[in-house]
Amino acid sequence: MNSFGLLYRITSFGESHGAAIGGIIDGIPAGIKIDLDLVQKELDSRRPGKSELTTSRNEKDRLEILSGFRGNTTLGTSIGFLVRNTDIKSEDYDALQDIFRPGHADYTYQMKYGICAESGGGRSSARETVARVVSGAFAQQILQQWHDIQIDSQIQEIGGEISPEAQKEAILQAKKEGDSVGGIIECRVKNIPIGLGAPVFDRLEADLAKAMLSIPATKGFEIGSGFASARMKGSEHNDEMEMKQGKSVFLTNNAGGILGGISNGEDIVFRVAFKPASTIQKLQQTVNKNGEEVTLENPGGRHDPCVVFRAVPIVEAMCAHVLLDHVLRSRATTSPIK
């Protein structure tokens, strides 16, 4: 299924080299003012081709809103939108059509569907994230307007490096070698209301984990203390509380802002691991559709030595998506009606 979310829901479509990428957003109340320039800006920040550090594909990605608005105000109906694919050079890929590129979904798509898009990665291309960024940008604006929620993601690591300089060096080195590097993004959410989330299956961290692992190239998710918690004692890990100016506060935040699946008012903090991009220019051993072993000499298409920068707006978008969905759920079912 190509939908995400229960009450705030994006349904998306689009192959990388098809006519367009787009989606339908459901669940935005009527009468909300949206700054569409800001949405376009988020789209731009996802776009490759802006610096020496990323691929040179220049997609422009102009957002076209097809419904759900009167001026800049939502109507309460579903919002249809699309972004045309304008920079399609399918010949770049043609030679590759029959080869299962290592790290890509070519093999699994072929085995599952028995057919693939005419060129490009089709639905498995990260280009599908265009739709997520649009719906996430809407969500971010609504979260800000309603609760002043701030979502801020930072690159924590690239190629194992912590400092920006070393990270840039690692990327340029990988580019020179025709190789790629991965990284880790940390996302922090401020001003989150207490009480978002649910017990049992729809815990807030569970929905965030699904959202993050649904982003292409992700390999891991951790909340708060994360994997490090496995090496801590309960007495170190438990976040103690005290009263401060008449308000209960936590002394630490190993929980990452969520207890028992429900936000506790502290910052929500989580990290997402991205593998190095699968498209590289080094020789790779693989097989093709005819069951022949082949050497992939030059994967062609564009080569992006590090996708982590471009993933930042996607992480924020998916985070906003989950949060707005839970804000809407809370409005529906949590509080006794006044």
Residues between 77 and 106 that touch its own copies (CB under 8 A)? 77-80, 82, 100, 102-105
Q: Is 153 a residue that touches its own copies (CB under 8 A)?
A: no
- The Cα–Cα gap between 120 and 109 comes to 13
Of residues 129 through 148, those in contact with its own copies by CB under 8 A are 146
Q: Is 60 a residue that touches its own copies (CB under 8 A)?
A: no
SS3 assignment, position 264: coil
CB of 232 to its own copies, least distance (A): 6
CB of 172 to its own copies, least distance (A): 13
- The Cα–Cα gap between 57 and 120 comes to 13
CA distances from 246 to 74, 78, 137, 164, 329 (A): 39, 43, 36, 41, 29
Of residues 5 through 24, those in contact with its own copies by CB under 8 A are 6-7, 9, 11-15, 18-24
CA-based end-to-end distance of the chain = 37
Of residues 206 through 245, those in contact with its own copies by CB under 8 A are 206-214, 216, 218-227, 229-243
- The Cα–Cα gap between 5 and 28 comes to 12
Q: Is 280 a residue that touches its own copies (CB under 8 A)?
A: yes
Burial of residue 4 (number of CB atoms within 10 Å: 0-12, 13-18, 19+): buried
Question: CB 34: neighbour CB atoms within 10 A?
Answer: 21
Q: Is 200 a residue that touches its own copies (CB under 8 A)?
A: yes
CB of 42 to its own copies, least distance (A): 19
CA atoms within 13 A on the CB side of 117: 17
CB of 307 to its own copies, least distance (A): 10
CA atoms within 13 A on the CB side of 203: 13
With CB under 8 A as the rule, give the number of residues binding its own copies: 158
Q: Is 32 a residue that touches its own copies (CB under 8 A)?
A: yes
Segment contacting its own copies by CB under 8 A, of 35-43, 50-58, 66-74, 89-97:
66-74
Q: Is 324 a residue that touches its own copies (CB under 8 A)?
A: no
Residue from 197, 268, 309, 319 touching its own copies (CB under 8 A): that is 197
Q: Is 116 a residue that touches its own copies (CB under 8 A)?
A: yes
Q: Is 298 a residue that touches its own copies (CB under 8 A)?
A: no
Q: Is 166 a residue that touches its own copies (CB under 8 A)?
A: no
CB of 294 to its own copies, least distance (A): 9
Q: What b/e readout covers 284-312, taking b as 16+ CB neighbours within 10 angstroms? A: bebeeeeeeeeebeebbbbbbbbbbbbbb
Residue from 192, 198, 319, 323 touching its own copies (CB under 8 A): that is 198
